[in-house]
Chain A
Amino acid sequence: MLYDIALTIGYDYDTPASGARHILRVLPLSIPGRQRLIAGSVKVSPEPDEKSSLTDFFGNPTTAIMYRSQHGTLEIRMQARVQVDQVEPVADFSPLVGKLQAELEAVWSMDGDSPHHLAGPSPRLADNVEIAAYARAMIKPGMTVREAAYEICKRVYTDFKYDPEATTVDSTPQEAFKMKRGVCQDFSHVMIVALRSLGIPAGYVSGFLRTIPPPGKERLEGADAMHAWVRVWCGESLGYIELDPTNNIVAGTDHIVVAYGRDYSDVAPVIGVLKSYGSHSTRQAVDVIPLKN
């Protein structure tokens, strides 16, 4: 599948911002055997005083920008052409849930891809007893890790209502869990906390979702903004799988990965610090245009 993707994120400040510094994670990744970034660019206006690129700990490309002078608006535009390949389904080689810990302990690695980073609490995702109990109740004897992950994905999808008004970007998984409402970020956060409570390493994926619905089907939720889903470590043999709890599907050729992390704070498209009075308004526009299959 070949896509042209365009993303625009804009900020309008009530009073001009000064001393602004941002880190951007908006460019799709290249993942051998799955996804290839053919061409991509990140443009910001006004022209920043400093700009640099870096690959972060988890392997995501980032752009750092800095403004010394004041500015009233900021616009970030990303354009990319990405080839996404169909990954053939594989049999379930994952161990029983109770056996995963031993496999995890056998991984002596601290690389960005190591499941150890996704096993414990992370900046936005503390342990939570209610979500842990919710997860525990779904596990039946003899379940494999992948079966457990599918089950949690399905349950989050059915138990939660997609509701952009219910939560904000700063909401915690506990809040979303209490209301059983939220958006892709909340669905993913809840699912990650649930998986980790069972000892299953799980992380956050930010990316894009194809916008044109397949004929005769409904439009997929979350298609008009950046999307988020979950990455699950299923043991040594199976490795990582990616599940989308907002749509209850396995992430396939409709999902284009931008960044991997422990939770939203690792992969937020724009992180920024600036001085300004009053508030600001934000807009985001995403176009994912399939060129050919």
Chain B
Amino acid sequence: MAKVPATERKTEAKTAPPDASATLSYRAIPGVADEMLDTAGNVRPVWQPMLAALGRMSAHERGERFARADRYLRDAGVFYRAYGAQGSAERPWPISHVPVLIAEKEWEALAEGLKQRAELLETVVADIYGANDLVREGFIPPALIASNPEFLRPLVGVAPPGGHYLHFCSFEIGRGPDGNWWVLADRTQAPSGAGFALENRVATARAFSDIYAESHVHRLASFFGAFRNALQACKKTADDRIAVLTPGPANETYFEHAYIARYLGFMLLEGEDLAVVNNRVMVRTVSGLKPVSVLWRRLDAAYSDPLELNQNSHIGTPGLTQAVRAGNVTMVNALGSGILETRALLAFLPTLCRKLLGEELKLPSIATWWCGQPAEREHVTRNIDRMVIGPAYSCLPFFDDHGQSVLGSTLRRNAKTSMTEWLASDGARLVGQEAVTLSTTPAFIDGKLTPRPMSLRVFAARTADGWQIMPGGFARIGAGDNVAAIAMQSGGMAADVWIVSNKPVEVTTLLPPEQEFARNLPGALPSRAADNLFWLGRYIERAEGALRILRAWHARFAENADPTQPLLAYVSAYLADVDIDSKEGVPASLLGNIDSAVYSASNIRDRFSPDGWLALNDLAKTARRFHEKVQPGDDASHAMTILLRKLAGFAGLVHENMYRFTGWRFLTIGRMLERGLHMTRLLGHMSKEDTPDGALDMLLEIGDSVMTHRRRYNVSTARLTVTDLLALDPLNPRSILFQMNEIRQEVEQLPQAFVNGQMSPFYREAMRMQANLAVMTPDAMNAAVYRQLEQDLEHLSDILAQTYLS
């Protein structure tokens, strides 16, 4: 115990007694394998330091440690999307803080088995889409492929560039009662979870930093580094891009797509970001079309091309299949490889392994019988009490298929009879699988270390040195104590997996060594990302504009609660024009603007710091809460002040932390444009001849310029001075001219500002507007000028969209 990060242990030892009972009461469930205890009930050597450490902790210390992990996950914004009866919602990542520990030696055997399996799957899929010998020679029943929704006919005969179909797979594995590991399911379509495994690791290492440092745990970074290099090697030219292709923010694992893209430095794209031109895949960026030659696909293959694959897909790229056929893009994994996930295929793998690799399957699959064959159907019927019956073509593992599978032993007698009939009439669509009992692993439940059923998700990547298995992965922990695997359906947790060596492990990071340092400029910004940034800027500013007007309105209403008094009525009329009802405390349309800002931001999570995201969500949440309860008048005025402060917090985070490049410019142009519009409309409305008393002072207050006005003009508010300060003063960050100057500056820096040495139409327009306004005098600013200015700003937004965002 030399390297004690002693502060905690010493101080804790004095203040609180160890909560040994929490760990001492741990008992394995009879007849069930346990990860921590061996069959004799002894703690496995690899677990001893962890268990000892847990036993030394007081309940308080344990709570603090777990809270550190939770805080990390919350601050990092780790979430997944859960679909339920109430629609979908982002949920915090449910971590089980105690990692699963596996000895290196045992892991090595597992990894060998999984490498063999990955190789086998590659050979099988290459045959299914290639020579088709396996069907012709009777090794795979044709019905299993022909009726399979994942058999994508347009890809038959299409050899992938580089010759490989599979680049990244995952396996769901579990330990049976005899202590041996079984593969429960193969994931080849778009395996998820590798990013969550990384986040689990960081969070768990926070909770157990001392134990982690002492335990010789294999690191995960080198696995990702090797895979990144492998993908780099798949590029056709150095200029090509690699992208993670995501179905979008509505997907349950979108966080992970954004996280992986950020972690590995790839673009995060959706189907509509891509265009196929002359059989090449291109990404639409604000700098024009740029080639993409590697797509790490998190989108199910059938949805990736509405032209040749699923015609109902709205998230695909028309023509993608043509580009694939032309050999111009490496898909990770190849379109169509999802067919390997077919549950019934598990029944044929042992024979296929012997036939194709000339060896036995090193790691068995869960025993599976496809009921399309008479002998197999007979076997399943006879042993129905030990079987899980489910759909043969399902690509989901039986314990995770939303209740499509049934456990034979739970059927009542008459249901059993109908099951037998079902098997007889529709056997080809059914599989029987042995109802395995999974091992348990310790989890803290109500302050006690408790055995919970678990399965592991393990990842394999094709690298320059062949298949590599991620040393770790993530463990899925069942919600209840029912160890029948089928109980793991919902409400489970995830835990980190530590592969523990008995000697020090190599520590690598993904950062290049210092001598290879290069300052890379960010790549071209995808048009859709620019669009979202631009609109994020506009919505945020629109919300701010509304907040400022409403605060001023409610402050006056608080003094004289008569909404018909001239000034209030006058401003209410203006607000009504922009769909805001001043009679509501916090109006619904204001929430709409903030929600739109959140939506825009949610589409570009990979470009956002978690801090900024949390600040924006906090603003939205607070606004919704206020909307429920805030009353007009003083209450509302105060609420607006709080919301303005929160909004300024978000804007400040963006301003202080966002890298000043193309993305920043679109966000800024969006804000400036909206702020310019806001001030133009207001001035146009409030500087008319018939404005009620107090309008000019209110205008200054909305423009946050009361003090400046007092200091700069030694007169009371007058139309000319207010116009001078709010429209034409280049030093006032609220004035229209200030916005125009900023926009002009940013536009100058955008790609394609000059085309063949000529100003682009967009740049020309921004320049013209800025120049026109800069030479104006306050007395010339009348309603007609403001109206024209408003039109010009809207027009500027339109040409920006035409130039960069389509």
Residues of A bordering B, CB below 8 Å: 19, 21-23, 50, 52, 54, 56-58, 64, 66, 68, 104-105, 107-110, 114, 116-117, 119-121, 123, 265, 271-273
How many angstroms from the CA of A109 to the CA of B310 in the assembled complex?
A: 24
Residue of B nearest to A116 (CB): B146
A113 to B463, CA, bound (A): 39
B contact residues vs A (CB 8 Å cutoff): 132, 135-138, 141-143, 145-147, 153-154, 156, 275-278, 306-308, 310-311, 318-319, 322, 325
Partner of B132, one of A107, A110, A265: A110
A109 touches B319 (CB 8 A): no
Listed by A's residue number, 18 A-B pairs whose Cβ atoms lie within 8 Å are A56-B154, A58-B153, A66-B276, A105-B143, A107-B142, A108-B135, A110-B132, A110-B135, A110-B136, A116-B142, A116-B143, A116-B145, A116-B146, A119-B146, A123-B310, A123-B311, A271-B307, A272-B307
| A23-B308, A271-B307 known; A116-B278 Cβ under 8 A | no
- Interfacial chain A residues near B143, Cβ < 8 Å: 104-105, 116, 119-120
* Contact status of A114 and B156, CB under 8 A, knowing A21-B319, A66-B319: no
CB neighbours (8 Å) of A265 from chain B are 311
Interface centre among A58, A107, A116 (most CB of B within 10 A): A116
| Docked CA distance A56–B154 (Å) | 7
- Please indicate the chain B residues that have their CB under 8 angstroms from the CB of A68 in the complex: 277
Cβ of B319: which chain A residues have Cβ within 8 Å of it? Answer: 21, 66
* CB contact between A114 and one of B142, B310, B318, B325 (< 8 Å): that residue: B142
- Whether A110 pairs with B145 at a CB distance below 8 angstroms is yes
A19, A21, A54, A58: residue with the most chain B Cβ atoms closer than 10 Å: A21
Contact check: which of B147, B307, B310 meets A121 at CB < 8 Å?
B147
In the complex, chain A residues whose CB is within 8 Å of the CB of B153: 56-58
A272 to B278 alpha-carbon distance, docked (Å): 17
Kindly state the separation between the CA atoms of A242 and B325 in the bound complex, as whole angstroms: 33
Q: Which of A23, A57, A120 contacts B147 (CB 8 A)?
A: A120
* Whole-angstrom CA separation of A235 from B98 in the bound complex: 60
**Are B135 and A109 interface neighbours, CB within 8 A?**
yes
Chain B residues, Cβ within 8 Å of A117: 146
Instruction: State in angstroms the CA–CA spacing of A21 and B320 once bound together.
Output: 11
Q: How far is the CB of A208 from chain B (nearest CB, A)?
A: 24
Contacts A57-B156, A120-B143 hold; do A108 and B311 have CB atoms under 8 A apart? no
Q: How far is the CB of A242 from chain B (nearest CB, A)?
A: 20
Which residue, B135, B142, B307, B322, has most C-beta atoms of chain A within 10 A? B142
The answer for the CA separation of A105 and B322 in the assembled complex, in Å, is 34
Measured between C-beta atoms, what is the minimum distance from B566 to chain A in Å?
44
Q: 20 new A-B pairs (CB below 8 Å) besides A110-B132, A110-B146, A273-B306?
A: A19-B318, A21-B307, A21-B319, A23-B308, A52-B322, A56-B153, A57-B153, A57-B154, A57-B156, A68-B277, A105-B143, A108-B135, A108-B136, A108-B142, A109-B136, A109-B142, A110-B142, A116-B142, A116-B145, A271-B311
A-B pairs with CB below 8 Å: how many? 64
Specify the chain B residue showing the minimal Cβ separation from A18.
B806
CA of A58 to CA of B146, assembled, Å? 12
User: For B278, what are the chain A residues with a Cβ–Cβ distance below 8 Å?
Assistant: 50
Cα of A84 to Cα of B143 in the assembled complex, Å: 33
Q: Are A273 and B307 in contact, with the CB atoms below 8 A?
A: yes
CB of B655 to closest CB in A, whole Å:
36
How far, in whole Å, are A120 and B151 apart by their CA atoms in the complex?
13
Residues of A within 8 A of B147 (CB): 116, 119-121
Q: Which 4 A-B pairs have the closest CB atoms?
A: A120-B147, A116-B146, A57-B153, A273-B318
Least Cβ–Cβ distance between B668 and chain A, in angstroms:
29
8 Å CB contact of B275 from A19, A64, A109: A19
The docked-state distance in angstroms from the alpha carbon of A64 to that of B143 is 30
- Residue of chain A at shortest CB distance from B147: A120
For A104, the chain B residues whose CB sits under 8 A away are: 143
Q: Is the CB of A108 within 8 A of B138?
A: yes
Bound complex: CA A22 to CA B135 (Å)? 33
Give the residue name and chain of the A residue nearest to B318 (CB): A273
Interface centre among B135, B277, B318 (most CB of A within 10 A): B318
Nearest B residue to A273 by beta-carbon distance? B318
With both beta carbons as reference points, the residue of chain A lying nearest to B317 in the complex is identified as: A273
Nearest CB to that of B326 among chain A residues? Answer: A52
Separation of A282 and B306 alpha carbons in the complex (Å): 21
Interchain CA distance A70-B276 in the complex, whole Å:
16
A271 to B318, CA, bound (A): 11
Nearest Cβ on chain A to B158's Cβ, whole angstroms: 11
Assembled-state Cα–Cα distance A7/B138 (Å): 44
Assembly CA distance A52 to B528 (angstroms) = 29
Q: Report the separation of the CA atoms of residues A22 and B319 in the bound assembly, to the nearest whole angstrom.
A: 9
Q: How far is the CB of A67 from chain B (nearest CB, A)?
A: 12
Task: Note all chain A residues with C-beta closer than 8 A to B275.
Answer: 19
In the bound assembly, the distance between CA atoms of A110 and B142 in angstroms comes to: 6
Identify the closest chain B residue to A268 (Cβ): B311
Q: Is the CB of A105 within 8 A of B141?
A: yes
Distance in angstroms from B735 CB to nearest chain A CB is 38
The interface residues of chain B lying within 8 Å CB-to-CB of A19 are 275, 318
Chain B nearest Cβ from A169, distance in angstroms: 12
Interface centre among A109, A110, A273 (most CB of B within 10 A): A110
CA distance A272 to B306 in the complex (A): 9
Q: How far is the CA of A152 from the CA of B302 in the complex (A)?
A: 33
Counting chain A CB atoms within 10 Å of each CB, the highest count among B141, B143, B325 belongs to B143
CA distance A283 to B277 in the complex (A): 29
Closest residue on chain B to residue A57 by CB atoms: B153
* Nearest-Cβ distance from residue A130 to partner chain B, whole angstroms: 17
Bound Cα distance from A50 to B275, whole angstroms = 13
Partner of A120, one of B146, B311, B318, B322: B146
A-chain residues with CB within 8 Å of residue B306 when the two chains form the complex:
273
CB of A245 to closest CB in B, whole Å: 24
B156's nearest neighbour on chain A, judged by CB, is A57
Contacts of A119 in B (CB 8 A): 143, 146-147
Within the assembled complex, what's the spacing in Å between the Cα atoms of A52 and B146?
A: 27
Q: Report the Cα distance A33→B156, complex, angstroms.
A: 27
A23-B135 contact, Cβ under 8 Å, with A50-B278, A110-B146, A119-B146: no
Q: Return chain B residues, CB-CB under 8 Å to A22.
A: 307
**Chain B residues whose C-beta falls within 8 Å of the C-beta of A50 in the assembled complex:** 278
Cα of A151 to Cα of B136 in the assembled complex, Å: 34
**Residues of A contacting B325 with CB < 8 Å?**
54
Which residues from chain B contact A121 at a C-beta distance below 8 Å?
Answer: 147
